[in-house]
């Protein structure tokens, strides 16, 4: 492509590419589905004829963009090393990744002495300074090496500073500080690819990495990709702080199964191979690793790009356990090592696959698969919509409308209903007295329903919802436009962690006739939703009001008369933890006798009674 286009044509081609997809730029991955990049190590940008530009089409500054490198003295910034990588990408049509905003290593020395409050200010000032200097960053490692390996222990030295408490804490592994950091980054770079990056995530700490990325997504972090450093892909690699080791290539079957596990358990979340290297003085071993691993990643549709961590022998950070400095390099004494020769030959005829949606190469077209309506037809309005009956998700777009019908922060169904929706990953379905509900909803999750409005006009929307706390909320939209304001979900009146106390919320809405896509977006985490009902007219009457229980007796009355003087309501919970219904009795003892003699209880086991007013529970053994 570079040889046959005139300069004017190149400019036009670049302008067109920028408007539709991201071009690959220079290097041996020119025109590929994903970039293959490397690190810059000086304050000088490589030129258009430099070997770096001939080999690579993405740049990450090895150290130049780290906080400690830029702001060694508080309030004074040295951008030279970071500018070298950034300007190279700008001048040569390559990709640039900023590495990294937050890390428990290579932070400024003055950070350790700051208070929590001053640390928060320092972080905010740092983010603002980077935003001012680089307003249009393409990719950002927002946080680096924060996997929790034990109580107050992380992959890097976060606890030597107040970074974690300054950004909201960790709270036994909820990574709230990371969620805060990603939200701060999104405010400043709304169009950037925001990345979480870590080591030992393919061989040693696979589950911990998956848990972290799923947790912060579930908590509403606007993260776009998971960076796997990939220093740990040799038989001796990764154990010592992710520094690589040596030996032979990681067992190929284990490598493939691990990559598949990461994709499956993160719901095919986009991956970047962010710091790959193969430290070996043996050319054959290095070539084998590249042939197996790089080839796999190029053909893996969920991998968006590959960054190799150094390429000149003797100038990379690894020394093969003291045997040879910079032994992961690909060019030795000016000559390509066999791994690089193979990579050039492979990329000349293999451009790879990239269906991540991230513009890190020439994106692979995806054949659209239309969404389907779960019940076979659109929900009629006026009418009732069960929350669990959202559309069956498709792929891509049809007539400009996305075929994706839901978004869920993790892939695990935490609910007790596993067989109602086998077409979904991660939407949490529970069995309650009224039927199946959607629970465990967290900020950023959404569900869509195809609806058919019979007649244009004003309607009243009612929703049956339950929450244990007072911070839960949701919003409805129609065809991408807000239909309601944010609607708060009332907290349960009695008991802790009570998601059985359903309330009705409502909103007046104006609808146009015809088919539409209705979306429910979670704006405040942790509530359950049973159904939505649309009734014709403003401030209409709810056709299914939830009966309010009688006011519970006072604490004194409960203490004196709970079991003898007043009928109490008890939830009946089966041995599998599913609620069967409600019975009324004069105290737990009477309720237990009713339960034992009930024909509705078909099998032996330990059942539970929970007082509807107090939340108190007792077990009942039933023998059949």
Average pLDDT over residues 247-263: 93
Please report the pLDDT score of residue 494 as a whole number: 72
Per-residue model confidence as pLDDT tens digits over 570-583: 878 877 666 677 77
Confidence of residue 375 (pLDDT cuts 50, 70, 90): very high
Sort residue 51 into left (φ over 0), alpha (ψ -120 to 50) or beta.
Answer: alpha
| Residue from 71, 138, 265, 275 carrying the catalytic annotation | 275
Strands 271-276 and 303-308: parallel
179 pLDDT exceeds 80? yes
Q: What is the pLDDT of residue 239?
A: 53
CA 389 to chain centroid, in Å, comes to: 24
Residue 145 among the catalytic residues: yes
In angstroms, what CA-CA distances link 391 with 369, 388, 478, 483, 523? 13, 9, 14, 19, 20
Res 23: pLDDT: 37
| Range of lowest pLDDT (88-92, 427-431, 580-584, 595-599) | 580-584
Two tokens at 597?
Answer: 């003699």
Which string of DSSP letters, residue by residue, matches 105-174? SS--GGGGG--HHHHHHHHHHHHHHHHHH-TT-SEEEEEES--EEETTEESS-GGGTTHHHHTT--TTTT
Please report the pLDDT score of residue 279 as a whole number.
92
Give the domains, in start order, of the chain with CATH numbers.
7-349 (3.20.20.80), 379-536 (2.60.120.260), 555-622 (no CATH)
Q: Read off the pLDDT band of 12 (50, 70, 90).
A: very low
pLDDT in tens, 342-374: 999 999 999 999 999 899 988 777 788 899 999
Identify the CA nearest to 58 among candidates 306, 349, 299: 306
* 275 counts as catalytic: yes
Question: For residue 190, with 0-12 CB atoms within 10 Å meaning exposed, 13-18 middle and 19 or more buried, which class applies?
Answer: exposed
What average pLDDT does the segment 452-477 reach? 95
Note the pLDDT of residue 552.
Answer: 46
422: which 2 tokens? Answer: 């086998």
* Minimum mean pLDDT range among 11-20, 213-222, 280-289, 429-438: 11-20
Dihedral sign for Cα atoms in the order 162, 163, 168, 172:
negative
Q: Does a cis peptide bond (omega within 30 degrees of 0) precede residue 508?
A: no
Phi, psi of 166 (to 5 degrees): -65, -25
* Catalytically annotated residue among 62, 138, 145, 265: 145
For 22-55, write each residue's pLDDT tens digit.
333 589 999 999 999 999 999 999 988 899 999 9
Q: Exposed e or buried b for every residue in 348-384, given b needs 16+ CB within 10 A?
A: eeebbbbbbebbbbbbeeeeeeebebbeeebbebbeb
pLDDT value of residue 495: 63
Whether pLDDT at 408 is above 70? yes
pLDDT band at residue 5 under the 50/70/90 scheme: very low
pLDDT-based confidence at residue 330 (cuts at 50, 70, 90): very high
Mean pLDDT of 168-186: 94
The CA–CA distances, whole Å, from 554 to 212, 551, 558, 585 equal 45, 9, 6, 18
Q: What percentage of the chain carries pLDDT values higher than 90?
A: 63
pLDDT value for 15: 33
pLDDT tier for residue 7 given thresholds of 50, 70 and 90 = very low
DSSP for residue 267: T
Confidence at residue 150, expressed as pLDDT on a 0 to 100 scale: 80
Residue 246 reports pLDDT greater than 90: no
pLDDT one-digit tens code per residue, 112-141: 999 999 999 999 999 999 999 999 999 999
Per the prediction, the chain carries an average pLDDT of 87
Composition of the chain by helix, strand, coil, percent to 5: 25, 30, 45
Q: What is the pLDDT of residue 58?
A: 97
Residue 440 has pLDDT above 80, yes or no: yes
Three-class secondary structure of residue 485 per DSSP: coil
Residue 621 has pLDDT above 90, yes or no: no
State the pLDDT at residue 554.
42
Nearest in space to 245 (alpha carbons), one of 286, 275, 278: 278
**Lowest-pLDDT range of 86-100, 433-447, 569-583:** 569-583
In this structure, the number of other CB atoms found within 10 A of the CB of residue 386 comes to 19
Lowest mean pLDDT among 147-156, 271-280, 293-302: 147-156
């Amino acid at each position: 492509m570079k040889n046959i286009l005139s300069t004017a044509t190149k400019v036009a081609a670049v302008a067109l590419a920028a408007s539709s997809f991201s071009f690959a730029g220079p290097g041996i991955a020119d025109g590929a589905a994903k970039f293959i990049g490397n690190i810059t190590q000086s304050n000088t940008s490589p030129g258009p004829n430099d070997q770096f530009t001939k080999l690579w089409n993405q740049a990450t500054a090895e150290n130049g963009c780290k906080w400690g490198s830029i702001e060694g003295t508080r309030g004074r910034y040295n951008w030279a090393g970071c500018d070298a990588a950034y300007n190279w990408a700008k001048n040569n049509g390559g990709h640039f990744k900023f590495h990294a905003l937050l890390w428990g290593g290579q932070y400024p020395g003055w950070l350790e002495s700051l208070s929590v409050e001053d640390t928060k200010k320092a972080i905010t000032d740092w983010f603002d300074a980077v935003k001012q200097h680089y307003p249009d960053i393409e990719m950002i490692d927002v946080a680096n090496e924060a996997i929790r390996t034990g109580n107050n222990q992380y992959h890097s030295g976060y606890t030597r500073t107040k970074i974690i408490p300054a950004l909201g804490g960790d709270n036994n592994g909820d990574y709230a500080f990371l969620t805060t950091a990603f939200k701060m980054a999104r405010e400043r770079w709304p169009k950037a690819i925001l990345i979480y990056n870590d080591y030992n995530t393919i061989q040693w700490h696979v589950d911990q990495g998956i848990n972290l990325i799923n947790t912060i997504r579930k908590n509403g972090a606007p993260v776009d990709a998971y960076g796997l450093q990939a220093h740990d892909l040799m038989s001796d690699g990764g154990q010592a702080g992710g520094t690589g080791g040596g030996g032979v290539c990681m067992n190929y079957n284990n490598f493939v199964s691990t990559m598949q596990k990461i994709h499956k358990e993160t719901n095919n979340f986009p991956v970047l191979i962010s710091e790959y290297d193969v430290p070996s003085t043996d050319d054959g071993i290095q070539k084998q690793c590249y042939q197996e691993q790089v080839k796999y990643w190029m053909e893996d549709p969920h991998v968006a790009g590959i960054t190799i961590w150094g390429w000149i022998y003797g100038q990379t950070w690894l020394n093969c356990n003291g045997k040879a400095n910079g032994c992961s390099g690909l060019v030795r004494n000016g000559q390509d090592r066999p791994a690089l020769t193979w990579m050039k030959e492979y990329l000349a005829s293999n451009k790879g696959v990239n269906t991540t949606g991230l513009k890190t190469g020439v994106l692979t077209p995806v054949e659209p698969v239309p969404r389907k309506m779960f019940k076979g037809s659109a929900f009629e309005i006026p009418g009732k919509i069960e929350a669990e009956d959202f559309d069956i998700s498709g792929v891509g777009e049809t007539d400009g409308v996305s075929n994706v019908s839901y978004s869920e922060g993790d892939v695990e169904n935490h609910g007790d209903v596993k067989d109602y929706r086998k077409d979904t990953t991660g939407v949490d379905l529970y069995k309650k007295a009224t039927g199946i509900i959607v629970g465990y909803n967290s900020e950023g999750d959404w569900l869509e329903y195809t609806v058919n409005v019979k007649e244009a006009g004003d309607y009243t929307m009612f929703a049956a919802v339950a929450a244990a706390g007072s911070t839960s909320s949701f919003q409805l939209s129609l065809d991408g436009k807000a239909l309601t304001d944010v609607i708060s979900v009332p907290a349960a009146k009695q008991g802790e962690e009570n998601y059985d106390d359903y309330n009705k919320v409502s909103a007046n809405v104006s609808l146009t006739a015809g088919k539409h896509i209705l979306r429910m977006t979670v704006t405040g985490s942790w509530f359950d939703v049973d159904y939505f009902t649309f009734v014709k007219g403003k401030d209409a009457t709810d056709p299914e009001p939830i009966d309010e229980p009688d006011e519970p007796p006072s604490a004194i009355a409960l203490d004196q008369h709970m079991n003898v003087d007043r009928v109490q309501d008890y939830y009946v919970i089966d041995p599998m933890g599913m609620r069967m219904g409600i019975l009324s009795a004069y105290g737990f003892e009477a309720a237990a006798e009713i339960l034992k003699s009930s024909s509705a209880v078909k099998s032996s086991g330990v059942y539970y009674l929970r007082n509807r007013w107090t939340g108190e529970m007792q077990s009942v053994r039933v023998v059949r």
